[in-house]
């Protein structure tokens, strides 16, 4: 019975980490070692949050026993008072050795993942070499500055302690120095990120409550993403041009043909078809192994950036359409929320958030869209520019422009 809550917490943390990884990660595409490493890192992070309250309650119980257990008068020194009446044992109490052993496993595994495994895996995945040995070598070179700065700090501390009189270094002391340096760096990042989030998160929540501000800011954000997306597509197009020249120079019997096929197989089917449809150059220059390694590395990076920008573009475009629907339905006499593009919603979401809206609150002016308070949203000229910017990737651009000119920015008679 004592281990029931402990086991439930451990299993719940694992289920939560596995669910989030399955939701946000492509487990079938990634290597099994990558999936296991990420799952372990997330799982141990949740274990700390789930198990820490149990450890705190057990610590308070042990402190209560230590404080309440006192010796009886000197006549009977062998008899002690029982602390059960003063200290109530928590029903989640486990033996004293369980939590220290658990924290040692979590701590040192997290140390290895943070300082060794994760950085090496990240650099290994970005390396352009075609062999495991070459990828490991490139990963070590990429992390040379990362590891060098850490070793430099540890070296200064070791020299300082070694020169200090009366202090001798041994294994436990060196381990304590390394742990202290690692914890200092982690606390620095924690304070930095926490200080930013304590300001940014409330500000975002406050700004998201302003529908007109959110819509205008989303227009600005999608315009920037449009520029980033175009730049990523241009970079990929340049890589396709280089690959076209390489494939024309390296035939099936060439020693580097297998490496060229490795690069081509990294391309999605659409880009592969686009590469095959290009006309080969007249006099292609045969590449070297080093140039193929650089081209492979550039291809991996360019495809990653393109996938990221396309995903951000799609999510932001979906948010823009939703905010436009919110603005359109706010002035609609119908009390039911109408979507410009029908998207099926889960049954639970329909029950919790029925498509019902309140009274219209927008006041319309001919010179532009304004709220009842008079805050400006967007003029027709700006809406046309925005719609033309996104109409190339989705027919939602034309729909958005029709909404801007007909629904949101109606005549002054309204």
Residues sharing a CB contact under 8 Å with residue 269, sequence separation 6 or more, in sequence order: none
Residues 346 and 273 placed together within one structural domain of the fold: yes
- The gap from C-alpha 369 to its chain's centroid, in whole angstroms, comes to 36
Highest mean pLDDT among 191-195, 310-314, 333-337: 310-314
Average pLDDT over residues 157-168: 77
Residues 272 and 174 placed together within one structural domain of the fold: no
Tokens read off for 3:
């281990």
Question: Confidence band (pLDDT; 50, 70, 90) for 398?
Answer: very low
Residues 39 and 168 placed together within one structural domain of the fold: yes
Residues 174 and 267 placed together within one structural domain of the fold: no
pLDDT of residue 310: 94
Q: Is residue 52 part of a domain?
A: yes
Helix axes 380-390, 211-249, angle to 10 degrees: 30
Average pLDDT over residues 393-411: 41
Q: Is residue 199 part of a domain?
A: no
DSSP letter (8 states) at residue 137: H
pLDDT of residue 371: 37
Question: Confidence band (pLDDT; 50, 70, 90) for 85?
Answer: low
Residues sharing a CB contact under 8 Å with residue 137, sequence separation 6 or more, in sequence order: 129
pLDDT in tens, 247-305: 888 888 888 889 999 999 999 999 988 888 888 887 778 888 999 999 999 999 999 99
Helix axes 171-208, 211-249, angle to 10 degrees: 120
Which is more confidently placed, 118 or 350?
A: 118
pLDDT of residue 254: 84
Residues 150 and 235 placed together within one structural domain of the fold: no
Average pLDDT over residues 128-137: 90
- Whether this prediction's pTM lies above 0.75 is answered by no
User: Is 237's pLDDT higher than 90?
Assistant: yes
End-to-end CA distance of the chain: 70
- CA atoms lying within 13 Å on the CB side of residue 314: 5
Q: Rounded to the nearest 5°, which phi and psi values hold at 369?
A: -90, 125
Of 331, 400, 382, 325, give the one whose Cα is nearest residue 355.
Answer: 325
pLDDT of residue 361: 41
* Nearest-angstrom CA–CA distance, 391 and 394: 5
Query: Could you tell me what percent of the chain has a pLDDT over 90?
Result: 29
Q: How many residues does the chain have?
A: 414
Q: Is residue 194 part of a domain?
A: no
Residues 227 and 176 placed together within one structural domain of the fold: no
Average pLDDT over residues 18-23: 93
Q: Are 243 and 278 in contact (CB under 8 A)?
A: no
pLDDT of residue 159: 83
Average pLDDT over residues 341-346: 72
pLDDT of residue 8: 92
Query: Could you tell me what percent of the chain has a pLDDT over 70?
Result: 80
User: Is 391's pLDDT higher than 60?
Assistant: no
Q: Which domain holds residue 388?
A: 211-408
Residues 169 and 265 placed together within one structural domain of the fold: no
Question: Confidence band (pLDDT; 50, 70, 90) for 71?
Answer: very low
Residues sharing a CB contact under 8 Å with residue 317, sequence separation 6 or more, in sequence order: 222, 390, 393, 394, 396
Residues sharing a CB contact under 8 Å with residue 244, sequence separation 6 or more, in sequence order: 275, 278, 280, 281
Q: What is the 3-state secondary structure (H, E, C) of 279-301?
A: CCCCCCCCCCHHHHHHHHHHHHH
Question: Confidence band (pLDDT; 50, 70, 90) for 48?
Answer: very high
Q: What is the 3-state secondary structure (H, E, C) of 297-346?
A: HHHHHHHHHHHHHHHHHHHHHHHHHHHHHHHHHHCCCCCECCCCCCCCCC
Q: Is residue 99 part of a domain?
A: yes
Residues 222 and 171 placed together within one structural domain of the fold: no
Residues 57 and 133 placed together within one structural domain of the fold: yes
How many distinct helices (H) and strands (E) make up the chain? 14, 2
pLDDT of residue 356: 66
């Amino acid at each position: 019975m004592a281990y029931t809550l402990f086991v439930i917490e451990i299993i719940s943390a694992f289920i939560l980490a596995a669910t989030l990884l399955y939701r946000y990660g492509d487990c079938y595409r990634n290597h099994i070692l990558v999936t296991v490493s990420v799952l372990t890192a997330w799982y141990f992070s949740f274990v700390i949050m789930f198990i820490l309250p149990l450890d705190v309650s057990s610590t308070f119980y042990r402190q209560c026993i230590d404080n309440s257990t006192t010796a009886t008068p000197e006549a009977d020194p062998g008899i002690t008072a029982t602390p059960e009446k003063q200290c109530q044992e928590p029903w989640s109490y486990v033996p004293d050795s369980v939590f220290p052993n658990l924290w040692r496993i979590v701590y040192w595994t997290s140390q290895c993942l943070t300082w060794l495994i994760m950085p090496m895996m990240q650099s290994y995945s970005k390396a352009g070499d075609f062999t495991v040995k070459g990828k490991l070598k490139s990963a070590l070179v990429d992390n040379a500055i990362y590891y060098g700065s850490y070793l430099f700090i540890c070296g200064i501390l070791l020299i300082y302690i070694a020169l200090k009189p009366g202090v001798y270094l041994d294994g436990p002391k060196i381990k304590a120095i390394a742990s202290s340096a690692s914890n200092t760096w982690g606390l620095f990042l924690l304070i930095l990120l926490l200080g930013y989030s304590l300001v940014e998160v409330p500000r975002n929540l406050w700004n998201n409550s302003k529908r007109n501000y959110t819509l205008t800011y989303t227009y600005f954000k999608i315009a920037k993403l449009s520029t980033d997306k175009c730049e990523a597509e241009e970079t990929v197009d340049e890589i396709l041009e280089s690959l076209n020249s390489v494939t024309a120079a390296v035939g099936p019997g060439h020693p580097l043909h297998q490496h060229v096929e490795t690069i081509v197989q990294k391309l999605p089917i659409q880009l592969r078809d686009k590469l095959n449809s290009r006309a080969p150059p007249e006099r292609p220059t045969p590449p070297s192994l080093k140039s193929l390694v650089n081209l492979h590395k550039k291809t991996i990076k360019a495809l990653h950036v393109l996938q990221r920008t396309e995903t951000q573009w799609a999510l932001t475009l979906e948010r823009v359409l939703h905010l436009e629907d919110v603005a359109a339905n706010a002035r609609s006499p119908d009390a039911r929320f109408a979507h410009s593009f029908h998207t099926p919603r889960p049954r639970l979401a329909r029950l919790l958030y029925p498509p019902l809206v309140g009274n219209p609150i927008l006041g319309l002016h001919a010179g532009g869209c304004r709220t009842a308070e008079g805050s400006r949203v967007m003029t027709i000229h700006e809406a046309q520019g925005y719609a033309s910017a996104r109409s190339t990737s989705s027919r939602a651009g034309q729909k958005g422009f029709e909404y801007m000119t007909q629904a949101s920015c109606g005549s002054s008679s309204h």
